[in-house]
Amino acid sequence: MEMIAEHGYHGTGLKGILDTAHVPKGSFYNYFKSKEDFVAEIIARYCLGMKASVDACMEAAGDDPVKGLRCVYGLSFAVLENRGTKGCLVGNLAAEIGDTDGPCRDAMHRGMGLFRERVMALIEEAQRRRLFRDDLGARALADIFWSTWQGALLGMKIDGDAEHLSQVMDALLDRLFRPDTP
């Protein structure tokens, strides 16, 4: 996962993966049909970790859905600070290979679905409590949340300023999602 995060799909060769894992090429093919199937499994595991983090945020937030959403990007922000500004594995791979059909794209789609479901649940609760605008559906706001997050990550990579990420996400939740926003 670290190699793919560091070098991307095309920048990570199968030989490097096998050498790092100390696995002979023949053994690799007992488990995976191709490098793409292997990377799809990495994406799936990454997304399960992301799902677990979001679930933990939902639980920790209790009955405060906005706190849950802040936790979601706060945890991700902490991870980014710890490992540098490499960005989100799914977002990076989507930019690199997202327009190709196959197992990786399918894994990214499923992973985004897991994320969207949880974020939508938090947004729906915020809408029920009139904390968020309801002129847009929860799915639309969840997609805006995801797109804003990914865009802010790109900006962070370009500027090298991780604090910008928090400012953008805070503006999204504090201003743009609020019901009194024109």
Residue percentage of the chain with pLDDT more than 70: 93
DSSP 8-state assignment for residue 113: H
How far apart are alpha carbons 158 and 102 in whole angstroms?
Answer: 29
**86/96 Cα distance (integer angstroms):** 14
* pTM, entire model: 0.83
Q: Domain map of the chain by residue range?
A: 34-176
Give the residue, 110 or 154, on which the prediction is more confident: 110
Instruction: With beta carbons less than 8 A apart as the criterion, state whether 54 and 64 touch.
Output: no
Q: CA 156, 131, 154 angle in degrees (round to 5)?
A: 10
Q: Name the CATH topology of 34-176.
A: Tetracycline Repressor; domain 2 (1.10.357)
Q: What is the pLDDT of residues 122-138, one digit of tens each?
A: 999 999 999 999 999 99
Q: Which stretch of 12-16, 27-31, 81-85 has the lowest confidence by average pLDDT?
A: 81-85
